Amino acid sequence: MGLFTRNKTAKTAPVAVLGAPDRDLSHLSGDYTIDPAHSRIGFAVRHAMVTNVRGQFAEYSGALHIDGTNPAKSTAELVIKVASVDTGNAQRDEHLRTGDFFEANAHPEITFRSTAAEQVGESTYRLSGDLTVKDTTQQVTLDLEFSGDAIDVYGANRIGFEGGTTIDRRDWGLTYNAALETGGVLIGEKVKLILDISAVKDA
């Protein structure tokens, strides 16, 4: 299962959710490709001590292996194109691509590869893995909720997860900041990662 493989027949298919998650997920076991057309990888960070700036990455590819019988054997991989960062402000996005932040030319990708998975509730899961930004790798833990399974109008099997985590950007060398005249700093150190994932089962 390649990270950049897509189920083209389901790329833009509308999704009809079948209902609440089933406790028995054995029927969901298999390999899935994340569908960027129906997913979102976003973030939020404090700005000027008073509000949050929110953004997302528009280009990414990912793959999941789901073991519905033994969730601990499930895995996930994700590759994000740094240059696709989008906060709704072109000047700010360009600054994020520079050496002050992501240095997109030298480090064009952010990657995540899971190392452990566990079920912590009826429909909640915890996924740990290696997050690599600018050639620095740190372990993160994602708290995820299984939001259900679906069959779209093209007959493709889908599953959904939502959740995220909070990280300290300094752990990946993203230390740029500026002091405010009123005290404090321009950019918060804590970054919320926000995931809404729809994945299509491979044929």
Tens of pLDDT, residues 7-49 = 333 344 444 343 334 457 788 999 999 999 999 999 999 998 8
In whole angstroms, give the CA distance from residue 115 to residue 184.
37
**Cα 135 to chain center, whole Å?**
18
Cβ atoms 151, 190 nearer than 8 A? no
Task: Write down the domain spans for the chain.
Answer: 23-201
pTM: 0.86
Q: Residue 183 has what pLDDT?
A: 84
Q: Which CATH superfamily is domain 23-201 in?
A: Lipid/polyisoprenoid-binding, YceI-like (2.40.128.110)
